[in-house]
Amino acid sequence: DSPIQTIKIAAPTTALLPAIEIPGVAGFLDPGLYEDGLKLIINNYPLIQAGDNVMLYALAKVAGVDEILTLRVDESIVDRGTFTFTVDADWLNTNSGLDVSFAYHFSRLGAEGASEPLTVNISKKRDLVAPNIPLATSEGVAKGSVNIKAALDGIKVEVPSIVVTDTVRVRWDAGADKSELLDPDDETKKLFTVPAKLIAPYIGKRLCVRYEITPSGSSMTLNSTAYDLGFTDLVSTDFTPASCTKPPSSGTLSIQAVKAAGGAEFTQTPWPLFFEGQLMRMTAVAGASIYYLRGTKEKGLPVTSGEVSAKKIIAALPVSFVESLSVNSTLSVYSEVSYDGGAVYKKFQAITLTLKA
C-alpha cells in the first residue's frame, strides 16, 4: 500500500473583489438598450499592474451560451483607473430570458484575484401595474376598500395579462412576518382567490396586495406596484350575543335554578369569519363584580377545532359568583374576539339578565 497522505482543504485567503456594476441595471437587463453591445467599465482593482492578464466571464447558467473575453493591462489602463470589456449584442439576444452572470479574474506571477459575480436576467423591462380587486370601491389609483360583509367567503385578485410560462403569485403583504403567497386559480394565471381566513386579521385595517412574477429561465423576481387595500370594520351589532343555556334563561336568571344546575352556562354561536385559533373571551359583569367565564382580562383563549366543528363555544359561570349577587341586580355577559392575535378585541352585544331568587 502507498503511504497515507493527509490533505487539508482551506478556504481561499483572498477576499473576492467587488462585483461589476452596470449603471441603471438592478436584476434585469433589457437587451434592446444595448444594440451596439454591453460596455462594462470596471474600476481598477487594488495594486493593478501593467502586464496583468484579465479575463471577463459572461456565463449563462442554464442552457445558454457562455462568453470569455480577455485583455492585457497596459499603462494607459493603470493611469485611467478603469478597464473595459464589451459584450456583443448577439450574445445578449442569444441568452434572452436567461439568468447570466458577469465576473472577472486577473492574474500575474505571484498574484491573482476574482470579483464577486453580478447576476442579472436578460429580458425586456416590464412595468408591472398594481393588481385589481373587483370587490373594492376605488379610493384613488391602486387604492380601495372592501365591505367586510361582502368578503365573508373570500375575495378575488386579478392580475394583468402575463406570459403564460412565467411563475406568478400574489403576495398578501402585511409585513415580513405575516406575508402570504397565493397560487393562481387556474392555468391562465390571471385570477387568485384570497380565502376568508387570510382576510379576518385585517378587519378594519389596511394592507398591501401585489403580485410577483418570476420569468421562465430566471431566478429573479419582479414585483408589481402594490394595491393599498382596506376592509371596513365590524361593530357590536354584527355579533350575536351569547345565550344562557343552563339553566335556560331569557330576561331573568334564577339563583336557585343556577344552584340546582351546578352553575350557569352561556353559549356563544359563531360570529363573522369564525376560525380556529382566534382568541375569544367571555366576561360577566354585575355592578362592580367581574368574572371571566373564558380567558382573562389580558387575553382570550384560542378557539379549538372542536368548537369550530360544534359551531358553538360554551363557558361556565360558577354558583359562587351568582350567589354573591343581589336579587334584582343586573347581570351582563358578553363575548369578545380578536382576529389579529390579541392586538384588538371586538366586543359583542351583551345578554342582560335580572337576578331572581
- DSSP result, 34-51: -TT-EEEEEEPPTT--TT
In the predicted model, is pLDDT for residue 275 greater than 80?
A: yes
What's the pLDDT score for residue 4? 63
Distance from C-alpha of 207 to C-alpha of 194, rounded to nearest angstrom: 13
Rounded to whole angstroms, the maximal C-alpha distance in the chain is 106
In the predicted model, is pLDDT for residue 9 greater than 50?
A: no
In the predicted model, is pLDDT for residue 10 greater than 50?
A: no
The three cell numbers locating residue 126: 416590464
What are the beta bridge partners of residue 107?
53, 112
What's the pLDDT score for residue 304? 98
Q: What mean pLDDT is predicted for residues 26-38?
A: 89
Q: What mean pLDDT is predicted for residues 75-83?
A: 97
Looking at every residue in the chain, the average pLDDT score rounds to 92
Query: CA–CA distance from 64 to each of 25, 79, 88, 91, 126 (Å)?
Result: 20, 36, 15, 10, 22
Please indicate whether residue 165 or residue 273 has the higher confidence score (pLDDT): 273
- DSSP result, 150-171: G-TT-EEEE-----TTSEEEEE
The dihedral sign for the CA sequence 274, 276, 278, 282: positive
- Model confidence over 232-272: pLDDT tens digits? 999 999 999 999 999 999 999 999 999 999 999 999 999 99
**Pairing status of strand 143-146 against strand 167-173:** unpaired
Distance from C-alpha of 83 to C-alpha of 115, rounded to nearest angstrom: 14
The three cell numbers locating residue 259: 344552584
Distance from C-alpha of 23 to C-alpha of 331, rounded to nearest angstrom: 72
- Model confidence over 112-153: pLDDT tens digits? 999 999 999 888 777 789 999 999 999 999 999 999 999 999
- Model confidence over 147-199: pLDDT tens digits? 999 999 999 999 987 777 788 999 998 565 668 999 999 988 999 999 999 99
Least reliable range by pLDDT among 7-11, 28-32, 180-184, 307-311: 7-11
Distance from C-alpha of 344 to C-alpha of 263, rounded to nearest angstrom: 30
In the predicted model, is pLDDT for residue 11 greater than 90?
A: no
pTM, rounded to two decimals = 0.73
What's the pLDDT score for residue 187? 87
What's the pLDDT score for residue 219? 75
What's the pLDDT score for residue 191? 95
Distance from C-alpha of 176 to C-alpha of 55, rounded to nearest angstrom: 40
